[in-house]
Structures are given as structure tokens and as C-alpha cells.
Amino acid sequence: MKKAFTLLEILIVLGIIGVVIGAGIASYSTAQKKARDTKRQGDLHAAQAVMEQCFSAAGNFQYPLVGQSGTNVISASCTVNGTTYSFSITDPLNNATNKYTGSGGGAG
């Protein structure tokens, strides 16, 4: 008698492998989303730090103007006593539906 797997055993193993792969893909997708959110939070924190540095270092107590360069890049800069403070942020996905946009403006 030959030793071999039956069709049912092979189908069960393939089903288990499919479930494991599906769970792995779902957790990988969640990890990617969390990483993008962490990057966004870090970018906004860096922008806040630059804005506060410009506000206090300039002596006129005004925030720098924030502009939009390109299609989805938000940036600002100021120079105080020969030191330039600046930031430039882009959404991690950088596509047509996920982008930063600016509106309004003005210093102070």
C-alpha cells in the first residue's frame, strides 16, 4: 500500500494556510496605517516646533506665513539672526485623495 495524502487532507492544509495568510495581510495593513499616522503626527509636531520657534525668536511675536508649494506640500520658514527655521510636510501616501492643503493665512 502506497503512503500518500488524501484530497481532503490537502484541502484542509490549503484552507489553514489561506486563513494564516489572510490574518497576516490584515495585520500588515493595520501596521502600515499606524505607521502613516505616526509620521503625520511627527510632521505636525515638527511644524508646530518651527512655528513656535519663529514666533518667539523673531521678536515681533508673529507666526510665519504658511504656504503651499507644489500640489500637496505645506511649508513655512523664517530667518532670525542668520538662522533659518523651516519645515515642509507631505502626506505619507502622497496621492490625489490624501494630501495636505492650506487655506486662509496671515501672520499674528
pLDDT tens digits, 28-74: 989 999 998 999 899 889 888 888 888 887 777 788 888 776 667 88
Instruction: State the pLDDT at residue 100.
Output: 67
Average pLDDT along the chain: 82
Instruction: State the pLDDT at residue 108.
Output: 41
What values do phi and psi take at 73, rounded to 5? -115, 120
Sheet strands (E) in the chain: 67-69, 73-80, 83-90
- Tell me the three state secondary structure of residue 63: coil
CA 33 – CA 37 distance, rounded (Å)? 6
